[in-house]
Amino acid sequence: MTLNAIQTAAANAGLITMGALREDGKTIVLFGTGPDFWAAFSASPEFLDGNKHPVDRWSKRVVGDLAQTFDGTCQFPSDGPPYPPFIRWALDSGRFYQSPVGMMAHPEVGLMISLRGALILPTEIPIPQQGTQSPCLTCDAPCTTACPVDALSADSGYNIAACHAFLDTKDGSDCMSRGCIARRACPHSGKAKRTDAQSALHMRSFHP
């Protein structure tokens, strides 16, 4: 079993392998959405059946299949309480970095991070050195000035009330239909190739 084999299987299912780490004799592989996610998800029974929580149900089926294929178990951000430490895992993998607006950034998808699950292998497998650095180190940080109500900041935290109030206005319809304007401002976010339909679904889940 290799990390490359897991990456290939995840890609075939519509996910990307966003990071991996070894902990307590196990290997934890983190999966998220990438350029191929929406095509796979929007053709799935979970999307088409009209029932609640389609992305979570799709994720549990797809990551569950990966766990079965590679003789592991799986965990999800929605499991809990207590909730699995996805943020710590992400940062410990060395592939996620705190951005100037507080949320994590990733070299492959910028601020468009959506972790869908983790594969837990019972043994340690080799994890190749990724050789990356924070994408924020060489960036002019347009994310810091994009939000019309300055709701995002690594220093002062996330102003949830200001964000939600703005989303309820006419001007907030752009974020609701195309995704958070601060996330879109990140030069690396375009690599995720999110469609407006995917962003709108995400925003409806975040702000019903």
Residue 75 is predicted with a pLDDT of 98
Tell me how far apart the alpha carbons of residues 30 and 35 are, in angstroms, rounded to a whole number: 16
* Cβ-proximal residues to 36 (8 Å cutoff; 6+ apart), any chain: 11, 14, 16
The answer to whether residue 159 scores a pLDDT higher than 90 is yes
In 3D, which of 70, 24, 65, 26 has the Cα closest to residue 44?
Answer: 65
Tokens matching residue 120: 């837990």
User: To 5 degrees, how large is the angle CA 78–CA 80–CA 81?
Assistant: 130
pLDDT tens digit sequence for 99-120 = 999 999 999 999 999 999 999 9
Residue 131 is predicted with a pLDDT of 66
Cβ atoms 6, 72 nearer than 8 A: no
Tell me the percentage of the chain whose pLDDT exceeds 70.
99
Banded pLDDT at 208 (limits 50, 70, 90)? confident
Question: Which has the higher per-residue pLDDT, 143 or 128?
Answer: 143
> Residues 80-88: what's their mean pLDDT?
95
Tokens matching residue 129: 């050195």
Residue 120 is predicted with a pLDDT of 98
Q: Provide the β-strand partners of residue 72.
A: none
Amino acid symbol at 172? G
DSSP letters of 69-118?
HTT-EEE-TT--SSPP-HHHHHHHTTS-EE-TTSSEEBTTTBT---EEEE
The answer to whether residue 31 scores a pLDDT higher than 80 is yes
> Residues 59-82: what's their mean pLDDT?
97
In 3D, which of 20, 112, 13 has the Cα closest to residue 63?
Answer: 13
pLDDT tens digit sequence for 118-139 = 999 999 999 987 767 899 999 9
